[in-house]
Every structure is written in C-alpha cells, then in structure tokens.
Amino acid sequence: MEDVAGAVWTLTALDAANKLILSWLVGNRDAARAYEFMTYVAERVTDGFN
C-alpha cells in the first residue's frame, strides 16, 4: 500500500462471550503489525485460543 493519509487500520481482539475488547492496535495493514498484535494478545490471554 502506498503511504498516504487514510491508509491506517484498527485491529481489535474481541471476547465473544462478554463482548469486551481485549486489545486494539492502530497501524498499517501488513504482516509485521498483524504478528505484533497477535503476539501481544497471545501473551495476555491466559486460557489460550480454543
């Protein structure tokens, strides 16, 4: 993606049962941001991803 105004995404991690936002990140839509976000969330979720 070209670096222009408006090329920003908001990533969110939601708890479906309680409808709470566990975490969020604003940044570029690329593999590096996705990995950073998923790593951050995985370190904080105690029950893991089932």
- Provide the domain limits for residue 14: 9-44
Alpha-carbon separation of residue 1 from 9, 10, 21, 28, 42 (angstroms): 12, 16, 27, 9, 27
Judge whether 49 lies within some domain.
no
Q: How many domains does the chain have?
A: 1
Q: Residue 3 falls within a domain, yes or no?
A: no
Report the pLDDT value the prediction gives residue 4, as an integer from 0 to 100.
67
Q: How far is CA 24 from the centre of its chain?
A: 5
Is residue 32, in this structure, part of any structural domain at all?
yes
* pLDDT of 1 over the 80 cut: no
What average pLDDT does this structure show over 17-46?
Answer: 90
Amino acid at 33: R
Residue 4 inside a domain? The answer is no
State the DSSP code for 20: E
Residue 16 domain flag: yes
Q: Is residue 13 part of a domain?
A: yes
Q: Is residue 19 part of a domain?
A: yes
Residue 18 has pLDDT above 90, yes or no: no
